[in-house]
C-alpha cells in the first residue's frame, strides 16, 4: 500500500492499495492498523446512489473519515473548514472508483462532498471519533454550490437531499 499526501491540502492522505488479480477476481486492502496506530475506527457506513446524486459538504469537529468508492465512480471534494488555517475554504478533489480503489483520509474540521458519476455507486465511510457519533444535528453543512468555496461541479442540476437543498 502506498500513502500519498495531497498536494493542495497536506492533512489529507490518499491510500493506494496493491491489487492482486487472478482468474477469480481481485483482492486489495483498504487499510492496515500499522497506518493508523492511534486510531481505532468505530463506525462504518455505506451509501448507494444513482447517477447525478450529490451529497454534502458535510463534516464535524471530531471525526476522521476514511472514504472510498467500492462500486461505480464518484467525484470527491474535500474542503479545509478550519477558520484558523491558511487553507480555509480551499479544496482538493479526487475521482474515486472501483478501478483505482483509492481511499482518502479526511481529518476533523474538513468538509466532504461527492457526486455519483456512474449509473450507480456505493460509497464507503469508516469513522474514528471519541465519544458519541456526531449525527446530522451536530454536523457542519454547507450548500453544495456555496460561492465561498466556489467548486465548479460538472453538473448544473444535481439530485440533492432536502438537507443539501436547504443549506
Domains: count for the chain: 1
Q: Would you say 111 and 140 are in contact if contact means Cβ atoms under 8 Å apart? A: yes
- Whole-model pTM? 0.92
Residue numbers of the chain with a pLDDT score lower than 70: 167
Q: Is the dihedral of CA 70, 75, 81, 85 positive or negative?
A: positive
Is 152 inside a domain boundary? Answer: yes
Q: Would you say 79 and 111 are in contact if contact means Cβ atoms under 8 Å apart? A: yes
Q: Residue 50 sits in which domain range?
A: 2-19+38-132+139-166
Is 153 inside a domain boundary? Answer: yes
Q: Would you say 82 and 88 are in contact if contact means Cβ atoms under 8 Å apart? A: yes
Is 32 inside a domain boundary? Answer: no
pLDDT digits (tens, 9 = 90+) for 82-126: 999 999 999 999 999 999 999 999 999 999 999 999 999 999 999
Is 56 inside a domain boundary? Answer: yes
Is 25 inside a domain boundary? Answer: no
Q: What is the CATH number of the domain that holds 60?
A: 2.60.120.10
Amino acid at each position: 500500500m502506498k500513502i500519498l499526501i495531497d498536494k493542495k491540502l497536506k492533512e489529507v492522505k490518499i491510500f493506494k492499495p496493491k491489487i492482486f488479480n487472478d482468474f477469480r477476481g481481485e483482492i486489495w486492502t483498504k487499510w492496515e492498523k500499522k497506518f493508523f496506530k492511534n486510531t481505532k475506527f468505530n463506525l462504518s457506513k455505506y451509501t448507494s446512489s444513482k447517477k447525478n446524486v450529490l451529497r454534502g459538504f458535510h463534516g464535524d469537529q471530531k471525526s476522521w473519515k476514511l472514504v472510498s468508492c467500492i462500486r461505480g465512480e464518484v467525484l470527491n471534494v474535500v474542503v479545509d473548514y478550519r477558520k484558523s488555517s491558511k487553507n480555509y475554504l480551499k479544496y482538493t478533489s479526487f475521482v474515486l472508483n472501483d478501478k483505482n480503489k483509492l481511499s482518502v483520509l479526511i481529518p476533523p474540521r474538513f468538509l466532504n462532498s461527492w457526486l455519483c458519476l456512474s449509473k450507480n455507486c456505493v460509497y464507503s465511510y469508516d469513522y474514528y471519533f471519541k465519544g458519541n457519533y456526531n449525527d446530522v444535528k451536530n454536523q457542519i453543512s454547507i450548500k453544495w454550490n456555496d460561492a465561498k468555496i466556489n467548486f465548479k461541479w460538472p453538473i448544473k442540476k444535481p439530485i440533492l437531499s432536502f438537507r443539501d437543498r436547504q443549506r
